[in-house]
Amino acid sequence: MRKVYVYKGFERFWHWTQATLIIFLALTGFEVHGTFSILGFEHAARFHRVGSWMLIGLIIFAIFWHVVTGEWRQYIPTTKKLMAQIRFYGVGMFKGEKHPMHKTEVKKLNPLQRIVYLGFKLVLVPITVVSGIIYMFHKTIDRNEIVVVSDISLESVALWHTLGAILLMVFLVVHIYMTTTGHTPTSNIRAMVTGYEDLEDDEEAEQTAEQEETPKVVLN
Amino acid sequence: MKKTIGVVIVLFIGILAIINIVNTENEYYNLKLEELKQEYAIKPVSSIDHSKLPELQRDFETPQEVTEACIGCHTERHKEVMKSAHWNWERVSYIEGRGVKAAGKKNVLNNFCLGAQSNELACAKCHIGFGMTNDEFDFENARNVDCMVCHDNSEEYQKGSSTAGYPDRTVNLTKVAQCVGAPDKINCGSCHFFSGGGNNVKHGDLEVALLNTDRQVDVHMAANGMDMSCVECHTAENHRIKGRLYSVSSTDTKRATCEQCHSNTPHFDDILNRHNAKVSCQACHIPDYAKENATKMAWYWSEAGKLRDGEPYKEFNSDSTIEYQSIKGTFVWAKNVKPDYMWFNGTADHYLLGDTVQSFPVQMNTLNGAHNDPDSKIIPVKIHVGDQIYDTKYKTLIQPKLFAESKGDSAYWKDFNWETAVAAGMQRVGLPYSGEYEFVETEMYWPVNHMVAPADQAVSCAECHTRSEDGRLVQLSGFYLPGRDYNKFLDGLGALLFFGALFGVFVHAAIRVLISIRKRKYEMKVIDYENKFPNQDK
């Protein structure tokens, strides 16, 4: 095992800020939705609006970071070993099998993570953010105001926004749980906090890879 | 590690702190409002003292002589007055579904004293003229314009009861003539506070308490506030008075609005300003009405006519409001009433004499508006309900003759006989009466515009944005109100997914824990083995 610097400073800042904001927006958002009452509707609505702008700002920075550093390539989806990964979570890890994927600083994500995170970034967040922005600027026609959105009913905007929020919450639950499936239950969280993670040595990894991979791949 | 965890915690708190700082509610000094306050703090001083005018140094025998004296100097004013609805008791305007039509007290019914026709002798107490004894009043005669009822500043003038609009015999006309000026609250209030036969009966937000009140009741008219008079908002350039009372008015013109002073973006908060597209100022800033004295909420004519020893009587509630009156029926009163809310675009229709009733309860006045109408806003409304007399065969509401000076003149208030009262009333308005009547339910809608509360007592967000059945807008439907409305299916699905995920995760975790416990037993054996033979490993 070797200690590797996997998550860069901005990456960690982005991750935790986003996590805080999403949880905060969920609490205030579902209060606005009427699901429960903590802060009171007025405060919840105000806080939600402020938090949403912060998240939008953060997302802009994050997109910039992904593009500039080329980290977006981490999310290119693959079906290779996807089933193996799913099988691992469903069966393998109970039997004490090893992770089917070898994690390196260059290849941080397993195939399942790739697909799920890509979905998070390209579907879940856009649905919620875009519907949220439309919600925020939703104006019905008024003599003195410019009509930004009038053809889309607030009801449908709210529906999409709520749907996005619900799916994000499901993601949150599963995502938090999955962090405990590393080498030790806290190793993944530790890595996202410090940036460093104990990864298998390259030789070890190669050995495992050789054992696992099909001859054809080896030939290549 | 500890340091970084510290950093992450600081980051969390930092983010929340930033959210809070950015969110801090504006407490800027409201310069717009200060400017208005300054403007209205300066009360106009009359440039003329009528008591010094030689033309008025005489005894006036009749009120018409006073009017002639007024016109003597104000040579054209009577023409302005004679164009007004206060004089004509009707206004010709375009009414949707009817076309151009005259509507007003001459042909509109209400569900209080029902209607003025055939009862002019009493009802003309609130006509700005003298001598309206019946429907043959001469609306062209300028001598009969009553200048004093609006312009008396001495509080001496009052119209007599049942004197066809003439002043009470005790009024010193000379004193009044010498003390005229801009109308004060009591001038408007002498009719508008007492409409419906008593203080605050009709409006609910206009009553004698406003003559001397505090900011809790009305921020504008409060004695310890701006102490504004009616005409400061209801300006009356050339006697064209701003303001529409939709119990008789029909059009969205010349309305007195909050926006005329406060603009339509009076808040620092953009979200609140944006509400103005769909929500009237009044809806939030008049959380309740009838704050000082009760207002009439219901009037059941069907119960009128009970007599004790052959004589009419009254029964009072503990707060000295009338519960039952033989000549009128049963009343329901209420104080500190939370308004109802309706969509309203500024146009209204009315039940006009002779209209065929289409549905029940009969809407005496229909406030037009809908959530998807760009001109409509949510306004607070007092809904006055009741029952009143109706021709079952011709399906028309009936104008009965209620008032007469003595018995035997077919008036219900003297004879307690609906048959003759209805026959006489309907004959006067020129409508057929089948001889068959019953009492049907009616509703009348009174937009609430006065008794504006201090800003900090405005309706709070959660009073509308709530799933509670007590929400103020629970009656309004067809549109999506955040906090009140939600998709039941999506919420159900959401709960299922969220708690399903939680459940799944716990099951998965439980299996892992179980397995690891089993495994640990095995590992512990190994460790024991190692301890026993520590050197073997190396």
**pLDDT tens digits for range A29-80:** 999 999 988 888 998 998 899 899 999 999 999 999 999 998 888 888 888 8
How far apart CA B365 and CA B376 sit, in angstroms, is 17
Count of structural domains within chain B: 2
Mean pLDDT of B132-151: 91
The length of chain A is 220
Own/partner pairs for A203-206, CB < 8 Å, 24+ apart? A205/A102, A205/A104
**Peptide bond connecting B361 to the previous residue in cis, omega within 30 degrees of 0:** yes
Last residue of a domain, one of B176, B194, B212: B194
B272 close contact with A: CB closer than 8 A: no
Contact B512 A94 (CB under 8 A): yes
Q: Return the CATH number at A199.
A: 1.20.950.20
Question: Looking at the domain assignment, is residue B188 inside a domain?
Answer: yes
Question: Looking at the domain assignment, is residue A80 inside a domain?
Answer: yes
- Could you read off the pLDDT of B62-116 as tens digits, one per residue? 999 999 999 999 999 999 999 999 999 999 989 888 889 888 888 899 999 999 8
Question: Looking at the domain assignment, is residue B134 inside a domain?
Answer: yes
3 state DSSP class of B108: strand
Q: How far apart are the first and last CA of chain A?
A: 27
Count of structural domains within chain A: 1
Q: Which of residues 348-407 of B touch A (CB under 8 A)?
A: 374-375
Q: How far is CA A202 from CA A2, A37, A205, in A?
A: 9, 52, 5
B166-202 as b/e, with b when 16 or more CB fall inside 10 Å? bbeeebebbebbbbbbebbbbbbbbbbbbbbebbbbb
* Residue A143 pLDDT > 60: no
Question: Looking at the domain assignment, is residue A218 inside a domain?
Answer: no
Query: What does the mean pLDDT of chain B come to?
Result: 90
Question: Looking at the domain assignment, is residue A184 inside a domain?
Answer: yes
Q: Please list, in sequence order, all residues whose beta carbon lies within 8 angstroms of the beta carbon of residue B283, skipping any fewer than 6 positions away.
A: B341, B377, B378, B379, B380, B459
Q: How far is CA B332 from CA B110, B112, B346, B364, B385, in A?
A: 16, 12, 28, 18, 9
Which residue type is seen at B447?
P
* Residue A107 pLDDT > 60: yes
* Residue B312 pLDDT > 70: yes
What pLDDT score was predicted for residue B364? 94
Q: What percent of chain A has pLDDT over 90?
A: 38
State both tokens at B533: 């033979």
Question: Looking at the domain assignment, is residue A145 inside a domain?
Answer: yes
- Indicate the DSSP class of residue B81: H
- pLDDT band with cut points at 50, 70 and 90 for residue B374: confident
Q: Which of residues 159-218 of A touch B (CB under 8 A)?
A: 159, 162-163, 166-167, 169-170, 173-174, 177, 180, 190, 193-195
What pLDDT score was predicted for residue B528? 57
3 state DSSP class of B368: coil
- pLDDT band with cut points at 50, 70 and 90 for residue A215: very low
- Could you read off the pLDDT of B319-329 as tens digits, one per residue? 889 999 999 99
Q: Among the listed ranges A120-124, A201-205, B431-435, which one has the minimum average pLDDT value?
A: A201-205
3 state DSSP class of B39: helix
pTM: 0.87
Mean pLDDT of B522-536: 57
Question: Looking at the domain assignment, is residue B184 inside a domain?
Answer: yes
* Residue A96 pLDDT > 90: no
What string of DSSP letters covers A71-123? GGGGG----TTHHHHHHHHHTGGGGTPPPSS---SS----HHHHHHHHHIIII
What pLDDT score was predicted for residue A216? 39
Ranges assigned E (strand) in chain A: 2-5, 196-199
ipTM of the complex: 0.86
Contact B1 A194 (CB under 8 A): yes
Domain that holds residue A197: 2-204
User: Where do the H-state alpha helices sit in B286-388?
Assistant: none
Mean pLDDT of A175-187: 86
Q: Select from B371, B351, B347, B348 the least CA-distant residue to B361.
A: B351
Mean pLDDT of A101-112: 79
Contact A158 B494 (CB under 8 A): no
* Residue A147 pLDDT > 80: no
* Residue B521 pLDDT > 80: no
Last residue of a domain, one of B145, B168, B194: B194
Q: How far is CA B288 from CA B334, B339, B381, B476, in A?
A: 11, 6, 10, 18
**Torsion angle, alpha carbons of B260, B266, B271, B275, to 10:** -20
Question: Looking at the domain assignment, is residue A212 inside a domain?
Answer: no
What pLDDT score was predicted for residue B11? 75
Question: Looking at the domain assignment, is residue B355 inside a domain?
Answer: no
- pLDDT band with cut points at 50, 70 and 90 for residue A209: very low
Last residue of a domain, one of B194, B226, B253: B194
Mean pLDDT of B111-124: 89
> Which residues on A lie below 8 Å from B375 (Cβ)?
143
CA-based diameter of chain B, in Å? 134
State both tokens at A206: 């190669």
B410 close to B421: Cβ distance less than 8 angstroms: yes
β-partners of residue B362 are B442
- Indicate the DSSP class of residue B301: G
Domain that holds residue B127: 47-81+113-194
3 state DSSP class of B446: strand
